[in-house]
Amino acid sequence: MNARVRRVYDPVEPDDGVRVLVDRLWPRGVSKDAARVDEWPKGLTPSAGLRRWYHAGEGSYEEFARRYEAELSAPEASELLDRVRELAEAGDVTLLTAARSPGESHAAVLLRLLDEM
């Protein structure tokens, strides 16, 4: 399986494979043509409450990751994660996010879960 995380603001690369936007909102300042997003599973993103909690600095990244993983066990999110896993098993997948620190974001949690399966 070959999956990776990149910022949606980074230029498209030939080895990106299937480009999956994993943010609930469309990133500011990026046109749909420039982003070249193949899939946008909005139901795979953290809940609004969890995002607000994390961005308010009320908890650690580890606690955020734990809570987000719990949210991913919901049926819709689980199905969407399985879909992304199938894409990654079939070829290259790039998880796209607008997060300033992708390594400490929900995208990193998704990448880890994909790598574990």
Helix axes 48-55, 61-71, angle to 10 degrees: 180
pLDDT at 89: 93
The domain segmentation of the chain, as residue ranges, is: 2-116
Asked if the model's pLDDT at residue 30 lies above 80, the reply is: yes
Report how far residue 10's alpha carbon sits from residue 8's, in angstroms, rounded to the nearest whole number.
5
Helix axes 75-90, 106-116, angle to 10 degrees: 60
pLDDT at 115: 87
Considering the entire predicted model, what is its pTM? Answer: 0.93
Phi, psi angle pair for 97, to nearest 5°:
-145, 155
pLDDT digits (tens, 9 = 90+) for 65-117: 999 999 999 999 999 999 999 999 999 999 999 999 999 999 999 999 998 86
Report how far residue 87's alpha carbon sits from residue 2's, in angstroms, rounded to the nearest whole number.
10
Phi, psi angle pair for 24, to nearest 5°:
-70, -35
